A and B are shown apart, each in its own frame.
Chain A
Amino acid sequence: MTKVKLNDAYPNIEIDLGMGNVLRKGETKDIPESYELKQAIELGHVEVAKETKKWDGKNAKKGSEIWVFAEQRNNKISRVVLELLGAARALSEKLSVNVAAVILCEKDNGLSNELIAYGADKVYLAEDARLKDYQTDVYTKAISDLVSEHKPQIVIYGATHIGRDLAPRISQRISTGLTADCTCLDIDEDDLLVQTKPAFGGNIMAQIKCKTKPQMSTVRPGVMKMLPNHKKRKGSVVKIRLEIAQSKTKVIDIIKSAKKRVNLEESGIIISGGRGLCEKKNFEMIEKFASLIGAEVGASRAVVDEGWIKEDHQVGQTGKTVRPKLYIACGISGAIQHRAGMQNSEMIIAINKDPNAMIFQIADYGIVGDVKEVIPALIKAIEGE
């Protein structure tokens, strides 16, 4: 038996390793020796997993925690933070260290417990009315001081408008390396963090390491796996008192867009419509289908240009780059510009009239047919039970 896992760069969600052994993305499994396994390892599709002892947190090394910056807005923890806690837990098991979340807020009101329930062993908590809204200088000083005092080995932030403002500022202040917008984090044989990030809009992936401590990354929302909410998990809360200076910038107002902004990047399922829908009103069936399975609605550039749907729904080179669990392309031919924005989705389903449409080349499941018939049939198949 060999303990193996599917390489992150492997394009499909599963691989057949012979004798009925199928290895899926994200799982680590013991597979008996076979020709298929040997070949898959040689081709780099599959890698031999590092032996990880199930770690119970009792023998944690000291002074080398993994930290998660727990961004909050309106006293609500951002979803990406919970994903980061899941990622940090996976890293912590390889390193045998504790995961700590750092939260700056006005009042705790259960936030620490939430962080513990989702994977933090420890929460560093600072409460102050002046920490209510994110301010670059106030937050930079607070986190930099804490990092200098407690010396975590890794600090991760969500690659949000807050994280990408804060993390570079901290990296410069404490003179350590930072990698932006990571989509995969791992630990190598030297116990160092290996950070994979897209460059050139996702056409190239780069693996980056850091020579200094702490190793810091911002991590793209929506790619890391959140752990289930475990209300019985135990953890400690360390209250910290900060010296807070007056911020040099002043937030006068925060304005929410009237319409809920489409959040394609954070969505687990995206259903996109293209020219094959024939006319604007047919987008309604896409919307209905999307609401039934909790998906966001995406679109090709062609239909955005036609004015069938707003620009913030556009997926592709000039729109959003997405990587959901499931992407359903409806009546989209799959030009390279569109594929650039969605080809890293975990699973792709394509529906198109033209059997030679480019989109089928990257689809896990393809249906040749008229979207205007197939989508109502799918809706019926869901409702029909």
Chain B
Amino acid sequence: MNIIVCIKQVPGTTDIKIDPSTGRLKREGVPSIINPEDKNAIQAALDLKGKGKVTVMTMGPPQAEDALREALAIGATEAVLLSDMKFAGSDTWATANILAAAVKKIGKFDLILCGREAIDGNTAQVGPQLAENLGLPQITYVQKIELDNGKVKVERELEDGYEIVETELPVLLTVIKELNEPCYPSLNGIYEAFHKREIKVLTNKDLNVDEERIGLEASPTFVKKVFTPEPKGQGTMLEGSVKDIAKELIKKLKEKEIIQKF
């Protein structure tokens, strides 16, 4: 079975600061990683591929190559980097347009896997948008996958349990961390991936997506500003006997109608 896995390179921490002079996020000195749920997607692909191949794909600046090499080290068969200045600033809608063109370029596949959401933007939108773009059925929040004769049966997580959903291949699944435990790459795998393997780079010359559908200008949404939520200042310390403090506090909460009057 041939599987395409879409991954994203993200900062290795969510503790990101804003540079007050530029109003932009400070990314210098923050190491990059493969988005955690995308690693679950890679692992699932390796578990399911059988004799087929696993193609990992990412859109990003040239340094996103590192994420692809890590995926190769874990065991992916091929890696494709979608990189072009024209792609820069794409929102989720424009990103899905680019990924869809790349999927069509890669050719035959049975399954597309994505992590449910990235830890930087937290949108969880690109997976479904890509599925729509390709006219594929989608199942999101997948916590278990079973394949059976051209059919796929999955558990889709819900807020209060899960549902069992079945569909025919090809399909796009977005997966959550409950799906599996991603393996680490072997030393040999790392050596091979960083010294011997090739990364295929595609630009918009190769993909030929209408420029009205990619990049910052074409994206329907735009970021007006980013800010750090201000931490609360210290409030009032309550003093006195435990009994008096408790009474005073409950009285305050009732006055402010935060807890109901009994």
A binding-site residues for B, Cβ under 8 Å: 9-12, 136-137, 140, 160-161, 164-165, 167-169, 171-173, 175-181, 194, 197-212, 248-257, 260-261, 263, 269, 293-294, 317, 325-326, 336, 339-340, 343-344, 347-349, 360-369, 373-374, 377-378, 380-382, 385
Contact = CB atoms under 8 A, between A and B. Distances in A.
A249 B167 contact: yes
B253 interface: yes
Task: Among A200, A206, A349, A368, find the residue whose CB has the most chain B CB atoms closer than 10 A.
Answer: A200
Interface string B179-190: 000000000000
Given A249-B165, A366-B235, A179 B18 contact: no
B242 A373 contact: yes
B21 interface: no
B232 A348 contact: yes
B157 interface: yes
B77 interface: no
Contact of B16 (A167, A171, A204): A204
B131 interface: yes
Classify chain B's interface size. 35 or more
B232 A362 contact: yes
Given A172-B133, A377-B242, A382-B250, 13 more contacts: A168-B126, A177-B93, A178-B92, A180-B124, A194-B224, A203-B14, A208-B222, A208-B223, A269-B258, A362-B232, A365-B238, A367-B237, A374-B245
Chief secondary structure at chain B's binding surface: mixed
Chief secondary structure at chain A's binding surface: mixed
A168 B16 contact: no
Contact of B138 (A136, A178, A201, A374): A136
A249 B14 contact: no
A254 B163 contact: yes
A136 B161 contact: no
23 contacts: A11-B231, A180-B122, A200-B14, A208-B221, A209-B221, A209-B222, A248-B168, A249-B165, A251-B165, A255-B164, A256-B160, A347-B256, A361-B231, A361-B234, A363-B232, A365-B236, A365-B237, A365-B238, A365-B249, A366-B236, A367-B238, A377-B242, A377-B243
B106 interface: no
Given A169-B129, A347-B258, A377-B246, A136 B137 contact: yes
Contacts of B119: 200-201
A178 B237 contact: no
B223 A206 contact: yes
A364 B258 CA distance: 14
